[in-house]
Structure 1
Amino acid sequence: MNQEFYTTREVLEAILTSIDEGIHVINTKGDTIFYNKVAAERDRMKVEEVLGEPLIQSFPSLNRHTSTLLKVIEKGEPIKDKRQSYMNIHGKMIETINTTLPLHMNGELIGAIEIAKDYSTLKALSERLLDLKQSDTSQKKNKGATNSVHYTFSDLLTVNPEFLQVIHQGKKAANSNSSVLVYGESGVGKELFVQSIHASSSRRNAPFIAQNCAALPESLLESLLFGTAKGSYTGAVERAGLFELAHGGTLFLDELQSMPLQLQTKLLRVLEDGLIRRIGGSKNSRVDVRIMAAMNKHPEKALQEQLLRPDLYYRLNVLSYELPPLNQRPEDIELLSEHFISYFNTKMQKHISGIEPDLLKFFHAYKWPGNVRELKHTIEYMMNVTETTLLHFQDLPPFLKIKDTHILEIHPLRETLKKTEEKLITNALMKTKGNILQAAKLLQIPRQTLQYKLNKIE
């Protein structure tokens, strides 16, 4: 077993060394058999101080109860996204978020591999984010200003009947304190819609705080939302979370389906009783927060894929809205284009008067997978490069120029097939350096057929 394992070691090392993550591998005895430079930099160690040494010798604060690697060796089960604090031999405290997996060969446990991220940096970033939001909230409260809201319903530009009905229903939601669930493709304007509800509600002068649930690992997202009590983990201080910062206002949770299921349970409890408890704390605090959530995946699909708890979905589904994608709102394309041209004219001090007709036809034929956001960025790009007072085809971003030929130019089928066939034959001959037999094999046609086609081309 060991000989077979170490025979493949050079291949494994070449792969693992190229990965931009901290990788630490131990055998069943607890000795380190692989340790890359990324892991060494994270642990403030040198590779030679760890490689070949017992794990607990390199990191004396760890033992079989606290080490994720040793736990996996003991139980043979994976541990995912586990926060770990430990001290290296130089007395430096390290904090990581680890995913640790058992290694098996021929059905036998031979070791464990750990992929770790530097939790210290992530934690510092999240705490800085909290401090900034807390500072922003305090300043704006003192000024009596609305917090972090830049949009109202008047910014939702549409003449599409379906979207107009959604906006009409959203205005009704502004008179309520019930939870809101919005779903739609990326770029359709979910946060704009949610901000509009908040701006029209009685909470308009209270905080509006947004958090993307996919942006942070579970442990950091939990402490960011609920706050921390002093001593709850190494270096923890008393710090309010987003629920407390949003007290009296609205907390917007984007990409809700990315929130871990265990954390969704805690969110459900807050929705039910309005109580939160800081991580490591012993007392509950009541918060008055309206929860609005958004998803870029349809809730039914998220439920099927077990990304969303059914009880949380039914609790949030009191007021739910689906925002239609841009390709279902063709009447809005010209309206939005004119709006973005006017916006960037002011911002860039330009005088673009509109879009040429053929370009507008392309805009209507294109599917806009990035929705309104993609249209806005496309207009911005074109206005940066155009040399006329109208936007033209040549002003399109390069990747869209490729697509426009497929959308707008329709050639006769026989001509297209002929050109495609000639191109394939030419490529096959180039690859085989003119060998007709080998080229025919590549094209999976008889040699005589290829020769016949070549004579026709000539």
Structure 2
Amino acid sequence: MTLDPQMRLLIVDDEPLFRESLGEDLARDGASVVTVGTVADACAAIQRAPFDIILLDQRLPDGDGLAIVPVALDANDAVKVLLMTAFPSYDHAVQALRVGVHDYLSKPVDVAEVRHAVNQLYHTAKLERIAEVHRLTVSHDEATALFIGQSGRAQAIQGLIRRAQGTMANVLITGETGSGKTLVAKAIHYGSPLSQRPFISVNCAALPETLVEAELFGVEKGAYTGAVPRRGLLELAEGGTLFLDEIAEMPVAMQAKLLAVIEERKVRRLGGEQDRFVNVRFLAATNLLLQDALANGKFRRDLFYRLNVLTIDLPPLRERRDDIPRLCEHFIRELAPGRRVQVAAADLPALMQYDFPGNVRELRNILERALILEDGPWLHPSRLLEASAAAAPAAEPIRDATATHLNPLETVMREHILAAYTQCGENLTRTAQALGLSLSTLRRKLVAYGRLSRNASLGAPGGD
């Protein structure tokens, strides 16, 4: 039985002979295999690149292997985890399934048994991807749901998305955190002729500077100690779309290499001597104003012009408050299909007056919490705004456009995030869920606010 050559496997086991032997067997079958022996090394490997399947031992030198599962799912919610343990029990099996493990094997394992289980999981993942592509392709207009409404800004964004779907030009998407940049990128891809091809997303801010080149361009054997040949994200996106989220965070040296790829349509793996041609459409996004980065030399003008063929600037929710009632209706239908419930009329004025520093993502999150906490036909989500409003100090308006003091919106956002972090017991996962932020965005904000170190572990407090 052979394995799909596009399959990427991570083997996590503290027995070197077992993991290397199993890795060699599965690599001979055609898969791309990475092997590690600790929780820390596994988490680092997961952050560097996505995996399709993770073969996981439960007892590892630096902790319980199950701690890796939420990290893996946060990096790639389509990953499948196969637990292998020499200490099987009913309680362990239940615990493993609860945290997100997909299958469970008892050691000693037979290679043929592992190969069969891996193939089954990979086949399941492919069917799920096909179903997702079908859902997004058939109803890709739903991807513009964040911009439903009667405001001119919402209708303008819908028109730009449709134009981007009809061209293969590169697109730069700008907007505040939570305004829907990733959703717009997916809408463009799945509404375009590339909808059946890969959509690969990479968060430039989440990649350590020393690893950016390897992740984007791939690696050849011998490029560094322990390096194994593997394709980079540019090759994985062949024929489809590469979405570069938070592009402003990319190191300047790497920007020059990316520019060369866009112009020449070829990549060279780290440590390699051969150029490989790639056919990729580039979408990029940033929540920063690139004009400042261009002025101070932190972002290359030539790369900006290459990516900025078409710009879609997403307005914050506070600039299109009239769309809030329609958005509420949409999210309630999405979150509670079949449930006859709506926002109480008395609550709408409070929602429309609130500035929503987390934008549409925050609105959706508040409605989801209200649906969980309240019974009956009427929702009162404005009650969930009271704590946030009380925690955020009132900011005086800027009277001088040249003033150098802190933007009031940033002050509100900082206080809002820190208040939620405290209320959630400094637990990253719960805070991210409460705010509707990704873990990587929340970590970066807390590091900037001095509440979290750059090398903080995933434990709580200050972790998951």
| Aligned partner letter, 1:378 | I
Name the residue aligned to 2:181.
Answer: 190
Post-superposition CA distance 1:364-388 (Å, at most 9, x none):
1101110000000011111111243
Q: Residue 279 of structure 1: SS of its match in structure 2?
A: coil
- Contact 1:183/1:190 (<8 A) preserved: yes
Cα distance in 2 for residues equivalent to 1:340 and 1:334: 10
Q: Which moved more, 1:266-275 or 1:127-136?
A: 127-136
User: Given the superposition, is the C-alpha separation of residues 146 and 397 from structure 1 closer, same or farther in structure 2, using an over 3 Å criterion?
Assistant: closer
| Aligned partner letter, 1:280 | G
Shift of residue 123, structure 1, vs aligned partner: 4.5
Name the residue aligned to 1:230.
Answer: 221
Name the residue aligned to 2:303.
Answer: 312
Name the residue aligned to 2:45.
Answer: 124
Shift of residue 175, structure 1, vs aligned partner: 2.2
Q: Structure 2 unaligned runs (5+)?
A: 1-35, 54-75, 81-121, 396-464
Post-superposition CA distance 1:145-169 (Å, at most 9, x none):
6769857233323222123122212
Is 1:366 equivalent to 2:357 in the alignment? no
Cα distance in 2 for residues equivalent to 1:404 and 1:131: 42
Cα distance in 2 for residues equivalent to 1:189 and 1:127: 24
Is 1:388 equivalent to 2:388 in the alignment? no
| Aligned partner letter, 2:46 | L
Cα distance in 1 for residues equivalent to 2:159 and 2:335: 29
User: Given the superposition, is the C-alpha separation of residues 260 and 231 from structure 1 closer, same or farther in structure 2, using an over 3 Å criterion?
Assistant: same
- Contact 1:130/1:224 (<8 A) preserved: no
| Aligned partner letter, 2:388 | L
Shift of residue 293, structure 1, vs aligned partner: 0.3
Cα distance in 1 for residues equivalent to 2:255 and 2:167: 23
Cα distance in 1 for residues equivalent to 2:160 and 2:204: 26
Post-superposition CA distance 1:275-307 (Å, at most 9, x none):
101111111000000010000112213323543
Q: Which moved more, 1:155-164 or 1:198-207?
A: 155-164
Shift of residue 401, structure 1, vs aligned partner: 6.0
Cα distance in 2 for residues equivalent to 1:142 and 1:374: 28
Name the residue aligned to 1:22.
Answer: none
Q: Residue 396 of structure 1: SS of its match in structure 2?
A: helix
Cα distance in 2 for residues equivalent to 1:228 and 1:209: 18
| Aligned partner letter, 1:251 | L
Matched ranges for 1:216-227 at <5 A: 216-227=207-218
Cα distance in 2 for residues equivalent to 1:393 and 1:135: 34
Shift of residue 225, structure 1, vs aligned partner: 1.0
Name the residue aligned to 2:326.
Answer: 335
Cα distance in 1 for residues equivalent to 2:40 and 2:296: 29
Post-superposition CA distance 1:395-444 (Å, at most 9, x none):
4255236379989xxxxxxxxxxxxxxxxxxxxxxxxxxxxxxxxxxxxx
Is 1:377 equivalent to 2:298 in the alignment? no
Q: TM-score, normalised by structure 1?
A: 0.57
- Contact 1:226/1:278 (<8 A) preserved: yes
User: Given the superposition, is the C-alpha separation of residues 323 and 403 from structure 1 closer, same or farther in structure 2, using an over 3 Å criterion?
Assistant: same
Post-superposition CA distance 1:314-369 (Å, at most 9, x none):
111111110111111112100011111222222xx7442x2223311110110111
- Contact 2:169/2:310 (<8 A) preserved: yes
Matched ranges for 1:286-305 at <5 A: 286-305=277-296
| Aligned partner letter, 1:259 | M
Cα distance in 2 for residues equivalent to 1:382 and 1:135: 30
Name the residue aligned to 1:207.
Answer: 198
Q: Residue 294 of structure 1: SS of its match in structure 2?
A: strand
Cα distance in 2 for residues equivalent to 1:406 and 1:391: 27
- Contact 2:366/2:381 (<8 A) preserved: no
Backbone CA RMSD of aligned residues: 3.2
- Contact 1:148/1:208 (<8 A) preserved: no
| Aligned partner letter, 2:316 | P
Matched ranges for 1:32-51 at <5 A: none
Cα distance in 2 for residues equivalent to 1:240 and 1:290: 17
User: Given the superposition, is the C-alpha separation of residues 361 and 217 from structure 1 closer, same or farther in structure 2, using an over 3 Å criterion?
Assistant: same
Cα distance in 1 for residues equivalent to 2:158 and 2:365: 24
Is 1:399 equivalent to 2:366 in the alignment? no
- Contact 2:173/2:181 (<8 A) preserved: yes
| Aligned partner letter, 2:195 | R
Shift of residue 143, structure 1, vs aligned partner: 8.3
Is 1:247 equivalent to 2:238 in the alignment? yes
Cα distance in 1 for residues equivalent to 2:227 and 2:287: 34
| Aligned partner letter, 2:236 | L
- Number of matched residues? 288
Cα distance in 2 for residues equivalent to 1:326 and 1:374: 10
Name the residue aligned to 1:25.
Answer: none
- Contact 1:326/1:371 (<8 A) preserved: yes
User: Given the superposition, is the C-alpha separation of residues 183 and 127 from structure 1 closer, same or farther in structure 2, using an over 3 Å criterion?
Assistant: closer
User: Given the superposition, is the C-alpha separation of residues 149 and 270 from structure 1 closer, same or farther in structure 2, using an over 3 Å criterion?
Assistant: farther
Q: TM-score, normalised by structure 2?
A: 0.56
Shift of residue 189, structure 1, vs aligned partner: 0.7
- Contact 1:189/1:372 (<8 A) preserved: yes
Is 1:321 equivalent to 2:317 in the alignment? no
User: Given the superposition, is the C-alpha separation of residues 165 and 380 from structure 1 closer, same or farther in structure 2, using an over 3 Å criterion?
Assistant: same
| Aligned partner letter, 1:345 | A
- Contact 2:331/2:367 (<8 A) preserved: yes
Cα distance in 2 for residues equivalent to 1:385 and 1:269: 52
Cα distance in 1 for residues equivalent to 2:372 and 2:128: 40
Post-superposition CA distance 1:19-74 (Å, at most 9, x none):
xxxxxxxxxxxxxxxxxxxxxxxxxxxxxxxxxxxxxxxxxxxxxxxxxxxxxxxx
Quote the sequence identity (%).
37
Q: Structure 1 unaligned runs (5+)?
A: 1-94, 96-117, 408-458
- Contact 2:343/2:381 (<8 A) preserved: no
- Contact 1:126/1:224 (<8 A) preserved: no
Is 1:344 equivalent to 2:341 in the alignment? no
**Higher radius of gyration, 1 or 2:** 1
User: Given the superposition, is the C-alpha separation of residues 262 and 326 from structure 1 closer, same or farther in structure 2, using an over 3 Å criterion?
Assistant: same
User: Given the superposition, is the C-alpha separation of residues 128 and 280 from structure 1 closer, same or farther in structure 2, using an over 3 Å criterion?
Assistant: same
Q: Residue 129 of structure 1: SS of its match in structure 2?
A: coil
